Amino acid sequence: MKRIIIIAIALLSWTLAKADEGMWLLSKIKELNIEKMQQMGFKLTAEDIYNVNKPGIKDAIVGLGNEGRPFQHFCSGEIISPNGLLLTNHHCGFSAIQAHSSVEHDYLRDGFWAYEMKDELANPGTTASILDRMEDVTERVNACLNDGMSEGERYAAIDSISEIITKEATEGTHFSAQVQPMFEGNQFFLFVYTIYQDVRLVGAPPQSMGKFGGDTDNWMWPRHTADFSMFRIYTAPDGSPAPYSEENVPLKPKHYLPVSAKGVQDGDFAMIMGFPGTTERYITSFGLANTMDITNTIRYEVRTDKLAVMREGMEKDQKTRIQYASKYASCANYWKYSNEQNKALRNLNTMGNKQAIEREFAAWVNADPARKAVYGSVLADLQKGYADMKTLETANVYAQEALAGPEAHLFAYRTGRVIAKLCDETVSAEDKATLREALKEMGAAFYKDFNTDVDAKLFAVLFKIYNDKVGADLQPEIINFINKKYKGDFNKFAADLKAKSVFMNEASFDAFVAEPNMKKLEKDLAYQAGKSFYEIYMKINASMAPYNTVLARGNRLFVRGLMEMNPEKAWAPDANSTIRMTYGKVGSYKPRDAVFYDYYTTLKGVMEKEGPAGGEFEVPARLKELYAQKNFAPYGNDILSVNFITDNDITGGNSGSPVINAEGHLIGTAFDGNSEAMSGDIDFEENLQRCINLDTRYMLWIVDVYAGAKNLINEMTIIK
């Protein structure tokens, strides 16, 4: 008897110890997840998280986006006060902090705190989405589709029914909506959001804390980073979303998260909600080879050189360092990811896992003639599709990474088309004045973060890579020209570009806008480079389109077959920038043989990692002083916890997501994943994959003690 109980307990704790794969759809939690979550310790109900009819945790979850593409959430965040105070990562606020920084006010270096609401800084163009409701609309969409349709007909039918559905959901309201495909286009969900347009910067620690460890520590555990920044959402006086205006008032949210200062223990339940960007869990071995050999390899190769050029410029002076800080950070993030992902994919034999799934799928298909008729050619089609596309895809990635690596030519082409209108006699003087105004603004925004020498060097280095790596038939006109006129000397071309193009600095651009000239525009080297880049990029993509169609169809059928093969399984769709929930728990792990990683780090570790001033591991003097005083109460006793890890299933886009405990209180903010399991976007590694989080106690201590921003502490509900 006793033995049975012991075995039962062992079995129970074994199942409990397993992390759960899945970025779950909120409307399915009740059906698919809540029971397991409650077994693991969650004390609330599915309705407390998401309920169409009453406020819940989902009302505190924010997707950050940009005007023009508000559904492509680049990060997540959470509302932590009744006045719309928003917590997210430092790296999510980075470009806003950078945009407000100058040599006089270096908020990246020194941090920024608004001690009164009037000092909060507007960020026009930044959007914040909060989900109102979601709905499975698969049946309605599928009713418009049939298996005999071509892919083109299928897309057109999906677009037109989606338009009808979103219109119904938004007409006469302030809502915005989108229909998103799930499971490679086998299911469809409607998401209805309120999208706020006035999001102001409230606070950020210095980057020596918010980005402590820099690229060396990025994607790594153990970590010691205060990766947070704070914003506030504002609305029109009536509570509706509105662009920045002085009259706007702080958002009165339907729900905000109480902030726990109680800390976490190994094994504690943890739930994360946010907006994961992209995963490819259902990719085939053929797609995986494409990712490893083409996308990741080329991206890493080109960005290594691109980063070196930017770094050289940034080391010269503070102005250039501020100008390129955000561009550098976003380039470096997926530079490192590409390399670490390939390493993890190899170490974990992800290719072998994918091939095993395909063998199982093929056996299942071949066992039944009816299945064979539908799925019989799926794997072969995918294999052939990727093989046929290889040369084009290689050129495509080189074009994105190398040809679109420098910036002046892209700006030249973008503005060149407007400048052409200034030269057009049929355009009225009045319209021309408006266009000049627009060009002036575009110029000011572009040149604020532009350095002529850095960009010229990028042309020399990156255009040469494209020249060397891509075949003659896919070269843009400008590269043929460089080979002919400059005998392939890319440095010489770059020097000429710098000396002659009006787009290489703001003064010559402004002068040209004042006196535009079509002939001069067409002869301008940056404009020519931009135009020929677009031409070749369009050509490559048009040539790829038929293969992409084959792949889309093959992937859709493959996933449909997998689901049919395994109907009992709770299937989770890949991430696609829509709101999701993942549950799991706090926990240590073993990254490799004989190595154990504890589940949390402390401020002591920051001191141990300290490196030279100006470097990635600089520790601000004030932090050292406060550390020596050890007054951590009420956020710690003699130690202060800094970061902790959980086994939740997250990916890029989830950055800034709340980590929520069994009571529904905020215990952390997710900010990274661990390199050992960077294959996780393709194959979830349940024993290895960890989500790296900022402990709310470190955040509170920094706001309260380090920054002395009592105004912010006072508006939160802190659970002690």
Interface residues with ligand ARG (CB under 6 A) are 91, 211, 213-215, 218-219, 329, 333, 652, 655, 672
Which of 158/204 has CB closer to ligand ARG?
204
Minimal distance, residue 555 CB to ligand ARG, in Å: 25
Two tokens at 685? 């590694």
Long-range contacts of the stretch 121-125 (C-beta < 8 A, 24+): 121/96, 121/200, 121/201, 122/198, 122/200, 122/244, 123/96, 123/99, 123/199, 123/200, 123/201, 123/231, 124/67, 124/243, 124/244, 125/66, 125/67
Residue (of 92, 122, 95) closest to 232 by Cα position: 122
Q: Are the CB atoms for 533 and 381 separated by under 8 Å?
A: no
Among residues 95, 655, 657, 679, the one annotated as catalytic is: 655
Q: Are the CB atoms for 340 and 680 separated by under 8 Å?
A: no
Which of 497/692 has CB closer to ligand ARG?
692
Minimal distance, residue 158 CB to ligand ARG, in Å: 31
Spell 491-520 as b/e; 16+ CB within 10 A means b: eebbebbbeebbbbbeeebeebbeebeeee
Minimal distance, residue 671 CB to ligand ARG, in Å: 6
Long-range contacts of the stretch 141-144 (C-beta < 8 A, 24+): 141/165, 141/179, 141/188, 142/188
Among residues 91, 224, 409, 665, the one annotated as catalytic is: 91
Minimal distance, residue 678 CB to ligand ARG, in Å: 10
Query: Is there a catalytic annotation at residue 655?
Result: yes
Two tokens at 547? 């293969």
> Which secondary-structure segment (H or E) carries 457?
helix 452-469
Which of 95/333 has CB closer to ligand ARG?
333
> Which secondary-structure segment (H or E) carries 356?
helix 350-366
CA pair distance 21, 687, nearest whole angstrom: 11
Spell 627-638 as b/e; 16+ CB within 10 A means b: beeeebeebbee
Minimal distance, residue 227 CB to ligand ARG, in Å: 6
Minimal distance, residue 134 CB to ligand ARG, in Å: 24
Beta-carbon count within 10 A of 330 CB: 14
Query: Distances from the Cα of 199 to the Cαs of 123, 129, 245, 567, 672, in angstroms?
Result: 6, 11, 11, 44, 23
Minimal distance, residue 23 CB to ligand ARG, in Å: 15
Which of 91/133 has CB closer to ligand ARG?
91
Which of 56/652 has CB closer to ligand ARG?
652
Which of 28/211 has CB closer to ligand ARG?
211
Query: Is there a catalytic annotation at residue 227?
Result: yes
Q: Are the CB atoms for 422 and 513 separated by under 8 Å?
A: yes
Minimal distance, residue 428 CB to ligand ARG, in Å: 48
Which of 322/329 has CB closer to ligand ARG?
329
Minimal distance, residue 364 CB to ligand ARG, in Å: 37
Instruction: Give 397: exposed, middle or buried? Use CB within 10 Å, 0-12, 13-18, 19+.
Output: buried
SS3 track for 307-318: HHHHHHHHHHCH
Which of 213/584 has CB closer to ligand ARG?
213
Beta strand ranges found along 237-391 (DSSP E):
249-250, 259-260, 269-274
**SS3 category, 261:** coil
**SS3 category, 200:** strand
Q: Are the CB atoms for 186 and 574 separated by under 8 Å?
A: no
The per-residue DSSP string of 650-676 comes to: --TT-TTPEEE-TTS-EEEEEEEE-GG
Minimal distance, residue 116 CB to ligand ARG, in Å: 29
Which of 279/655 has CB closer to ligand ARG?
655
Minimal distance, residue 218 CB to ligand ARG, in Å: 4
Spell 300-326 as b/e; 16+ CB within 10 A means b: bbbbebbbebbeebbeeeeebbbbbbb
Residue (of 290, 188, 282) closest to 565 by Cα position: 282
Which of 340/524 has CB closer to ligand ARG?
340
> Which secondary-structure segment (H or E) carries 194?
strand 187-196
SS3 track for 116-138: CHHHCEECCCEEEEEEEEEEECH
Query: Distances from the Cα of 572 to the Cαs of 23, 333, 487, 532, 582, in angstroms?
Result: 6, 27, 55, 42, 10
Query: Is there a catalytic annotation at residue 91?
Result: yes
Which of 115/597 has CB closer to ligand ARG?
597
Among residues 20, 198, 227, 704, the one annotated as catalytic is: 227
Q: Show which residues are catalytic.
A: 91, 227, 655
